[in-house]
C-alpha cells in the first residue's frame, strides 16, 4: 500500500489557493514520533510504498534521508514544490521512483498563483536533476484555477526542456473552501472554457499520436483511457482509505492527507494499529456510488464527497467537468484502437500508472 509521510506542516511558499496555514492545535508542526515507531508500523506491509509529503517535505530533508536509510520501501515518491531540489544529494535523488513537482503551467500563470520568480527557480531545478541523472518518472503537478487555460498550460509543460517532464497531471481548485468560487470571476463561464480546452487538448493528444506515433504523458487521459481500453472497473483512483493512507506528524493514520481535522478521516494510529486494520473504514458515498460513470471515474475525491463544501449544486457542477472529460475520451477510443491495430501506438502505452504514484487521475 501507499503511505504519505507528512514530514512537516510548514511550507516555504504561500500559494493563493492554499495559504500555508499550519494549525498546531490539529496536528504538530513537525513529527513527534520516532523513525523506529514508523518502521515498526510499516514492517507489517511487505509492499509498502512511501510518498514524502508536507507542507514542503524537503524542508525536512535530513529526516527524509534518515527514513530512506532506515526503512525499506518498494517505491519512494516525493511531492515537492521544487524550490529545494538542488540541495537533494544525487545519491538520494536517484533512489526516487517518482518525483512530482508543483508547477501550474506557463510562467505568468504559475507566478500569479505561486509567487513571482517561482517558475524560473523550479524549471532551473528540474533541469538540474535531469542533468544529475534522475531517470525516474518526473511529473508536473498543476493546480488549475481561475487564471488557467488548460490547453495552453498543459501543452507548455509537455514541451519544456528536452522535454524534462514525463507526465503532466492537474487537480482542480474546487470544493476545498467556503464560500465557493473564491478564485473565479465567474465559475460557470470558466467551466465552459475549461471543458472546451479539454476537448482541444484531447484532439491535440490524438493528432500527436497520428503524426509522431507518440502518446503524450497527460495523466488524466492515460488513466481513463487505460480503463476504457482494458475494460476495467475502478474504485476511488487516489486509493484514499483503500490502498493509500497518510501518516500525520503525530502518528495518526488518515485516509486522505489533506483533512486531519475531520473525524471521518481519522482511522487509527501507528502505535496501536497495523496497516490492514484501517483498510476500507471510510468509503465514498452518494451521489458517486450510483453515478453512471462510477466505475470509470471511481468517485473522484473522498474529501469532496464527504464534505461537499460547495453544496450539492457545486458538487454537481464539478462532476460535470469529469463527465465531459470521460465522454470526450470515449469519443476518441475507437481512433486509438485503430492506431493500436495499425501499430502506430501500442496498447501498453496507455498502461499508466503501473502503481499508485499519488496521481489521482481524475482532476
Domains detected in the chain:
2-350 (3.20.20.70)
pLDDT tens digits, one per residue of 350-359: 999 999 999 9
- Which residue's entry shows cell 492554499? 18
Q: Which long-range contacts (CB under 8 A, 24 or more apart) does 326-331 make?
A: 326/224, 326/293, 326/296, 326/297, 328/198, 328/199, 328/202, 329/202, 329/221, 329/224, 329/225, 329/228, 330/228, 331/202
Segment 147-176 shows an average pLDDT of 97
For residue 294, the model assigns a pLDDT of: 96
For residue 234, what is the DSSP state? -
- CA 261 from chain center: how many Å? 21
Grid cell for residue 65: 534521508
The model's confidence at residue 116, banded by pLDDT at 50, 70 and 90, is: very high
Residue 295's pLDDT is: 96
Dihedral sign computed on CA atoms, order 117, 111, 216, 165: positive
Residues 6 or more apart in contact with residue 224 via CB below 8 angstroms: 296, 325, 326, 329, 361, 362
pTM comes to 0.97
> How far is 321 from 337, CA to CA, in rounded Å?
25
Contacts 24+ apart (CB under 8 A), 311-316: 311/180, 314/174, 314/175, 314/180, 314/181, 315/175, 315/287, 316/287
Q: What percent of the chain has pLDDT over 70?
A: 99
Helix (H, G, I), strand (E, B) or coil at 164: coil
Interstrand relation of 252-254 and 244-247 (parallel, antiparallel or unpaired) = antiparallel
Average confidence (pLDDT) over 33-59: 98
pLDDT band with cut points at 50, 70 and 90 for residue 21: confident
The pLDDT tens digits for 280-322 are: 999 999 999 999 999 999 999 999 999 999 999 999 999 999 9
CB 176 within 8 A of CB 17: yes
Closest C-alpha among 140, 157, 127 to residue 98: 140
Residues 6+ apart with CB under 8 A from 40: 270
Q: Which three cell numbers stand for residue 361?
A: 487521475
Task: With a cut of 90, say whether residue 22 has pLDDT above it.
Answer: no
Of all residues in the chain, what percent carry a pLDDT higher than 90? Answer: 98
- Give pLDDT, residue 19: 65
Could you give the angle at the alpha carbon of 147 between the alpha carbons of 313 and 140, nearest 5°?
100
At residue 60, does pLDDT exceed 70?
yes
- Kindly state the average pLDDT of the residues 163-190: 96
Q: What is the mean predicted confidence (pLDDT) over 226-246?
A: 97
Amino acid at each position: 500500500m501507499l503511505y504519505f509521510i507528512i514530514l512537516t506542516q510548514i511550507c516555504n511558499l504561500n500559494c493563493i489557493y492554499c495559504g500555508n496555514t499550519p494549525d498546531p492545535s490539529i496536528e504538530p508542526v513537525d513529527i513527534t514520533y520516532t523513525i523506529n515507531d514508523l518502521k515498526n508500523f510499516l514492517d507489517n506491509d511487505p509492499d509498502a510504498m512511501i510518498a514524502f509529503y508536507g507542507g514542503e517535505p524537503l524542508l525536512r530533508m535530513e529526516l527524509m534521508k534518515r527514513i530512506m536509510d532506515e526503512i525499506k520501501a518498494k517505491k519512494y515518491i516525493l511531492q515537492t514544490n521544487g524550490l529545494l531540489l538542488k540541495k537533494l544529494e544525487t545519491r538520494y535523488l536517484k533512489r526516487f521512483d517518482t518525483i512530482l513537482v508543483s508547477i501550474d503551467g506557463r510562467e505568468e500563470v504559475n507566478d500569479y498563483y505561486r509567487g513571482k520568480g517561482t517558475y524560473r527557480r523550479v524549471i532551473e531545478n528540474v533541469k538540474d536533476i535531469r542533468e544529475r541523472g534522475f531517470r525516474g518518472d518526473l511529473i508536473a503537478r498543476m493546480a488549475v484555477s481561475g487564471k488557467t487555460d488548460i490547453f495552453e498550460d498543459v501543452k507548455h509543460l509537455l514541451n519544456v526542456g528536452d522535454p524534462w517532464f514525463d507526465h503532466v497531471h492537474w487537480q482542480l481548485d474546487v470544493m476545498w473552501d467556503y464560500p465557493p468560487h473564491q478564485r473565479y470571476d465567474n465559475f460557470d463561464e470558466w467551466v465552459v472554457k475549461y471543458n472546451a480546452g479539454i476537448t482541444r487538448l484531447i484532439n491535440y493528444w490524438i493528432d500527436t499520436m497520428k503524426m509522431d506515433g507518440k502518446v503524450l504523458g497527460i495523466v488524466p487521459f492515460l488513466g481513463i483511457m487505460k480503463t476504457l481500453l482494458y475494460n476495467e472497473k475502478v474504485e476511488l483512483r487516489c486509493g484514499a482509505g483503500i490502498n493509500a493512507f497518510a501518516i500525520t506528524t503525530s502518528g495518526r493514520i488518515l485516509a486522505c492527507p489533506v483533512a486531519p481535522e475531520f473525524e471521518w478521516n481519522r482511522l487509527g494510529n501507528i502505535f496501536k494499529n497495523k496497516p490492514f486494520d484501517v483498510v476500507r473504514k471510510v468509503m465514498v458515498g452518494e451521489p458517486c456510488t450510483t453515478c453512471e460513470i462510477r466505475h470509470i471515474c471511481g468517485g473522484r475525491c473522498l474529501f469532496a464527497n464527504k464534505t461537499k463544501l460547495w453544496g450539492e449544486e457545486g458538487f454537481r457542477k464539478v462532476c460535470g467537468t469529469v463527465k465531459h472529460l470521460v465522454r470526450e475520451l470515449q469519443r476518441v477510443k475507437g481512433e486509438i484502437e485503430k492506431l493500436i491495430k495499425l501499430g502506430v501506438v501500442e496498447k501498453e502505452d496507455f498502461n499508466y500508472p503501473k502503481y499508485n504514484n499519488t496521481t489521482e487521475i481524475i482532476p
